[in-house]
């Protein structure tokens, strides 16, 4: 985010002034209605109406600037995240890919990053906007009429408790849905990537059933999440609009008693609606945040993965003064401690300009793995690999070895 601090700061300023105009609207409406119904002053009515139009034009420009700047920033950040994650995956050890399927990793690059993109591009700004509306609305409510403010504020603690209770459940279910979809993507990736083998053994139906079972699991988790979200918003709507009804009833009694004007009541009600809308929006954003949190955890867990084959603490640069020779001397290699030897007592000298292929006698199933396991050969269990008078063991940078070879 550091290279984009200027855009974020400008978007924050636009957001602040745009929200300030939105908070001023109910107060202006109060004066407009009083000019129409109390003082019956046509000149004031026209002036206030024109002023509202000017304020809304400014608000439109500020909203454009905010959405554009945050959208561009979010796109850049997600591009950097995707490329960084992909680069990290490319440099992980072959053993990591035996435990994770390519479909699962592709899902992290696509669906999880897309979830984070929605949060960075829109939902973060909306979160701050609704917080400002909530705090500003409650402050103005308290300044206008403390009696009605007490009735409105009584709803807030109940809404917060509901949001916390349902938010945790929705986060668990959202993570479960994403995990099941990743499993389904892994099955599809495996089947489609090896479609000649699937068709050769007439396993189309079996693979379709296997994919369908994973999709059914994700469907059940999604239905459970939808039930929780539906119940959450239903209870929340009842509590929020029940509070507005109580404010309407109490405000109507104050108007009848002559303690406030109709314009003051309408202004107060608009602020109350703003507060209720902010609470509802924050609850919705809380659910989205819980979902994005699960995606972020999975993505950054991959970013923090350490390759088993890494550069040594004190690497020695590969000498590149001349075209090197590569020599294998009594090299033994296997794919794992429990696997049979794929290379046994191999000795060879690779002179400049020569192209030599080491093609071991592979068991069935190992041929499809050799492209993933090749880099592991840099850590030879037995034998010596040298390059023009420089022994390659635990001293050279892995990437440099690969380039020079």
Q: What pLDDT digit, counting tens, does each position of 69-120 carry?
A: 888 888 888 888 888 888 888 888 776 777 777 777 887 887 788 778 777 7
Most confident of 168-172, 383-387, 390-394: 168-172
Q: Are 283 and 159 in contact (CB under 8 A)?
A: yes
What is 301-345 written as a DSSP string? HHHT---SS---SS-BPPP-SS---EEEEEEEE-SSTTSPPSEEE
Instruction: List Cβ<8 Å contacts ≥24 apart for 130-134.
Output: 130/277, 130/278, 130/281, 130/282, 130/285, 131/278, 131/282, 132/15, 132/16, 132/19, 132/23, 133/19, 133/22, 133/23, 133/274, 133/275, 133/277, 133/278, 134/275, 134/278, 134/279, 134/282
Q: Are 305 and 96 in contact (CB under 8 A)?
A: yes
Q: What pLDDT digit, counting tens, does each position of 180-233 carry?
A: 887 888 888 788 878 888 887 888 888 889 888 988 988 888 888 888 878 877
**Into which CATH architecture does domain 2-303 fall?**
Up-down Bundle (1.20)
User: Which part of the chain has CATH 1.20.1560.10?
Assistant: 2-303
* 387 strand-pairing partners: 326, 390
Query: Is residue 29 pLDDT above 80, yes or no?
Result: yes
**How many C-beta atoms lie closer than 10 Å to residue 387's C-beta?**
19
The residue-averaged pLDDT of 345-349 equals 82
Cα distance between the two ends of the chain: 38
- The whole-number pLDDT of residue 17 equals 92
390-392 sheet: strands from edge to edge = 343-350, 326-333, 382-387, 390-392
* 326 strand-pairing partners: 350, 387
Q: Are 93 and 308 in contact (CB under 8 A)?
A: yes
pTM of the predicted model, to two decimals?
0.57
| Helix or strand run (H / E) with residue 88 | helix 42-90
Q: Is 260 left (phi over 0), alpha (psi -120 to 50) or beta?
A: beta
> Greatest CA span in the chain, whole angstroms?
103
| C-alpha distance from residue 330 to each of 52, 256, 358, 396 (Å) | 86, 101, 14, 20
Q: Are 136 and 19 in contact (CB under 8 A)?
A: yes
pLDDT band of residue 360 (cuts 50, 70, 90) is low
Query: Is residue 376 pLDDT above 60, yes or no?
Result: no
- Which range is least confidently modeled, 46-60, 70-84, 142-156, 305-319? 305-319
The residue-averaged pLDDT of 370-399 equals 45
Residues 178 and 111: their CA atoms lie apart, in Å, by 8
């Amino acid at each position: 985010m550091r290279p984009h601090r200027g855009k974020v700061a400008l978007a924050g300023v636009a957001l602040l002034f745009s929200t300030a105009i939105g908070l001023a609207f109910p107060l202006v409406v109060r004066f407009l209605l009083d000019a129409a119904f109390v003082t019956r002053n046509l000149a004031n009515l026209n002036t206030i109406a024109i002023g509202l139009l000017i304020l809304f034009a400014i608000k439109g420009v500020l909203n454009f600037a905010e959405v554009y700047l945050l959208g561009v920033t979010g796109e850049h950040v997600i591009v950097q995240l995707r490329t960084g994650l992909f680069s990290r995956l490319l440099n992980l050890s072959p053993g990591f890919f035996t435990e994770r399927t390519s479909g699962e990793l592709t899902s992290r690059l696509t669906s999880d990053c897309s979830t984070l993109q929605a949060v960075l591009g829109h939902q973060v700004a909306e979160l701050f906007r609704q917080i400002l509306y909530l705090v500003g609305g409650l402050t103005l409510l308290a300044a206008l009429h403390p009696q009605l403010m007490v009735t409105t504020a009584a709803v807030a603690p109940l809404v917060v408790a509901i949001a916390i209770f349902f938010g945790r459940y929705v986060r668990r279910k959202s993570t479960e849905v994403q995990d099941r979809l990743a499993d389904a993507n892994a099955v599809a990736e495996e089947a489609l990537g090896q479609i000649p083998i699937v068709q050769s053994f007439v396993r189309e139906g079996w693979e379709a059933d296997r994919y369908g079972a994973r999709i059914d699991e994700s469907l059940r988790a999604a239905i459970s999440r939808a039930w929780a979200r539906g119940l959450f918003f239903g209870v929340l709507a009842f509590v929020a609009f029940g509070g507005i009804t109580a404010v309407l009833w109490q405000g109507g009694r104050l108007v009848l008693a002559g303690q406030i004007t109709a314009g003051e009541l309408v202004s107060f009600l608009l602020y109350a609606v703003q507060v209720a809308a902010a609470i509802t929006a924050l609850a919705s954003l809380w659910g989205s945040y819980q979902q994005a949190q699960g995606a972020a955890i999975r993505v950054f867990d991959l970013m923090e993965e350490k390759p088993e084959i890494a550069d040594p603490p004190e690497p020695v640069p590969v000498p590149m003064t001349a075209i090197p020779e590569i020599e294998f001397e009594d090299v033994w290699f296997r794919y794992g401690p429990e696997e049979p030897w794929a290379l046994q007592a191999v000795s060879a000298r690779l002179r400049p300009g020569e192209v030599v292929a080491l093609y071991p006698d592979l068991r069935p199933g190992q041929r499809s793995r050799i492209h993933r396991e090749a880099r592991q050969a840099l850590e030879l269990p037995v034998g010596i690999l040298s390059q023009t008078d420089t022994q390659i063991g635990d001293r050279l940078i892995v990437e440099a070895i690969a380039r020079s070879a």
